[in-house]
Amino acid sequence: MSDPFASSALGRGSLSTAPGLPASPPQGPAAPARGSDQPGTPLAELGWGPPFEAAFNNRLVDGTVPGRVARVDRGALMVLTETGELRALVSAQLAHDPDPLKAPTVGDWVVLQGGLVEEVLPRRSAIVRGGAGSPETPQVLAANVDKVFVVCSLEGRFRARRLERLLVLAWQSGAAPVAVLTKADIAEDVAGAVEAAERLIGAGDVVAVSSLSGVGMDAVCGFLEPCATVVLLGPSGAGKSTLANRLGRGAIDLATGEVRGDGKGRHTTTARELVRLPGGALLIDTPGLRALSLFDADQAIGDAFGEIEELAAACRFSDCGHRSEPGCAIKQAIAAGTLDAERYTSFEKLRREQRHLAARVDPRERAEERKRYKALGKLTRKFEKR
Ligand SMILES: Nc1nc2c(ncn2[C@@H]2O[C@H](COP(=O)(O)OP(=O)(O)OP(=O)(O)O)[C@@H](O)[C@H]2O)c(=O)[nH]1
Ligand SMILES: [Mg+2]
Ligand SMILES: [Zn+2]
């Protein structure tokens, strides 16, 4: 089965303008996607703010308008603007940019001109993973999110390792994670799972919910704020779209699907989509993540496993391999039962995976990437200080 993320071609699809063609879409100027009666939305209600406005004003050209990408489907974009929803294509120049981080993604603020996306405004946060099939190529799953709901089902046994990996992705993005443990109505041990998740998430929050009974829904709503953006990330079948529909209180209707006999989802959601919830929050639903590879996540792994980094700093040797060295604080913590051996193994595995990946990527390219991420991090922090 093909990966649903890979299929949304992010501006490289057959619909984007081919080189040499005039920079205009086949149907002429942008037309409202769902009829001209589609009302527009004030930009502020879509999450617009000073950093984007300043960036847009810097580039102000006649006839350009800002918009927020609500959906990417094989190169065709659905963009929300002040005057309504538009179907847009990616300009030839942008479509042929070799940098995969430059491709517009769901949640991005873009500069539109005559039905073409000319530019992506600098992001203040981004969910970046290694591409499916080519983990050395980054892919931005969602941009400009304020909170990441890491959605995991409470059906069956608690999958700590899966949650850990998703949490690294969340911490790396610059947005705050919330572990949303779904299907509380059929869970065997809700309290035990919540406790386990709390141990993994550090400064983040944990909430157990049921989209069927409504248990925990108030707590989830407590994490939503008008004009702020939340993204749902998690495996297929975890109940992301069901949760989104419940939060939508009848105003939105995303497809949901049964889970297979082996407990796995069926990848019901096929494209990432940004919707507005009745309370004014913006929510991005995503297809279930399979084989999630992290990208340039060394730092984020350290952040997500902060207690291990702290312990390592207390080892007698600064280059301690935490195997048989004397005075190893990690070994001691595991022996004393204050550090879970499986969590340490998980940390090591993620780190090894990153090192392996790093070795495959051209060092000069990596240096460039890092510079970009540094800039991205600075932007995020600036925004938070507001
Ligand atoms: N018992 C119970 N079932 C739920 C709950 N939430 C979702 N489900 C069921 O779980 C199945 C999968 O739900 P979806 O919302 O489609 O899952 P998803 O995470 O969006 O899956 P993908 O779109 O494939 O990534 C459906 O059969 C839902 O009815 C819940 O709170 N309790
Ligand atoms: Mg879904
Ligand atoms: Zn050590």
pLDDT digits (tens, 9 = 90+) for 4-48: 444 333 322 223 333 333 333 333 334 344 433 457 889 999 999
Q: Which CATH fold topology does 4-122 show?
A: SH3 type barrels. (2.30.30)
3-state secondary structure of 119: strand
Question: What is the DSSP secondary-structure string of 254-302?
Answer: ----PPPTTS-------S-EEEE-TTS-EEEE-PPP-S-EESS-HHHHH
Q: At what angle do helices 50-58 and 363-385 cross, to 10 degrees?
A: 120
Residue type, 233: L
DSSP at 100: G
Smallest CA-to-CA distance from 234 within 184, 297, 159, 174 is with 159
Q: For residue 151, which atom of ligand 1 is closest to its CA?
A: 19
CB 232 within 8 A of CB 244: yes
Tokens 């995503």 sit at which residue? 286
- Residue 301 alpha carbon to ligand 3 centre in Å: 17
Looking at all shown ligands, the one closest to residue 237's CA atom is 1
Q: Say how far residue 317 (Cα) sits from the centre of its chain.
A: 37
Tokens 């939060």 sit at which residue? 247
Show the tokens assigned to 191: 């309290």
Q: Say how far residue 33 (Cα) sits from the centre of its chain.
A: 26
Show the tokens assigned to 72: 């990417």
- Does ligand 1 have an atom closer than 6 angstroms to the CB of 246? no
| Mutation test residue for ligand 1: of 1, 5, 212, 242, the one with most atoms within 8 Å of CB | 242
pTM: 0.84
What CA–CA distance (Å, rounded) separates 169 from 229? Answer: 17
Task: Note the pLDDT of residue 131.
Answer: 83
| Mutation test residue for ligand 1: of 256, 273, 283, 286, the one with most atoms within 8 Å of CB | 256
| Exposure letters 141-162 (e unless 16+ CB within 10 A, then b) | bbbbbbbbbbbbbbbeebebeb
Residue nearest to atom 14 of ligand 1 (CA): 239
- Residue 246 alpha carbon to ligand 1 centre in Å: 11
Q: For residue 267, which atom of ligand 1 is closest to its CA?
A: 24
Smallest CA-to-CA distance from 286 within 214, 343, 235, 212 is with 235
What CA–CA distance (Å, rounded) separates 376 from 74? Answer: 26
- 4-122 with 293-385: one CATH topology? no
Q: For residue 236, which atom of ligand 1 is closest to its CA?
A: 25
Smallest CA-to-CA distance from 43 within 17, 79, 3 is with 79
| Least-confidence region, from 89-103, 292-306, 372-386 | 372-386
Task: Note the pLDDT of residue 367.
Answer: 65
Q: Which helix (H) or strand (E) holds 143?
A: strand 138-143
CB 7 within 8 A of CB 74: yes
- Provide the residues around ligand 3 (an ion) whose CB is within 5 A: 315, 320, 322, 328, 330
- Does ligand 1 have an atom closer than 6 angstroms to the CB of 138? no
Tokens 């890491």 sit at which residue? 150
- Does ligand 1 have an atom closer than 6 angstroms to the CB of 211? yes
- Does ligand 1 have an atom closer than 6 angstroms to the CB of 287? yes
- Residue 307 alpha carbon to ligand 3 centre in Å: 13
Residues 293-385: name the CATH superfamily.
Probable gtpase engc; domain 3 (1.10.40.50)
Q: For residue 257, which atom of ligand 1 is closest to its CA?
A: 16
- Give me the mean pLDDT over the 340-358 stretch: 90
3-state secondary structure of 200: helix
Residue nearest to atom 7 of ligand 1 (CA): 239
| Least-confidence region, from 8-22, 149-163, 176-190, 297-311 | 8-22
Averaged pLDDT score across all residues of the chain: 84
Q: For residue 289, which atom of ligand 1 is closest to its CA?
A: 25
- Residue 106 alpha carbon to ligand 2 centre in Å: 15
Smallest CA-to-CA distance from 117 within 39, 11, 14 is with 11
| Exposure letters 101-112 (e unless 16+ CB within 10 A, then b) | bbbbbbbbbbbb
Task: Note the pLDDT of residue 116.
Answer: 94
What CA–CA distance (Å, rounded) separates 243 from 211? Answer: 6
% of the chain with per-residue pLDDT over 70? 83
What CA–CA distance (Å, rounded) separates 133 from 143? Answer: 22
- Does ligand 1 have an atom closer than 6 angstroms to the CB of 183? yes
Task: Note the pLDDT of residue 34.
Answer: 40
3-state secondary structure of 365: helix
- Residue 347 alpha carbon to ligand 3 centre in Å: 14
% of the chain with per-residue pLDDT over 90? 62
**Domain positions in the chain:** 4-122, 141-285, 293-385
- Residue 325 alpha carbon to ligand 3 centre in Å: 7
Q: Which CATH fold topology does 141-285 show?
A: Rossmann fold (3.40.50)
Residue nearest to atom 27 of ligand 1 (CA): 258
- Does ligand 1 have an atom closer than 6 angstroms to the CB of 139? no
- Residue 345 alpha carbon to ligand 3 centre in Å: 13
Using one digit for the tens of pLDDT, what is the confidence trace for 172-201?
998 889 999 999 999 999 999 999 999 999
Edge-to-edge strands, sheet with 138-143: 138-143, 126-130, 293-294
Per DSSP, what are the bridge partners of residue 280?
A: none
What CA–CA distance (Å, rounded) separates 117 from 113? Answer: 7
Residue type, 138: P
Residues found in the chain: 386
Q: Which helix (H) or strand (E) holds 130?
A: strand 126-130
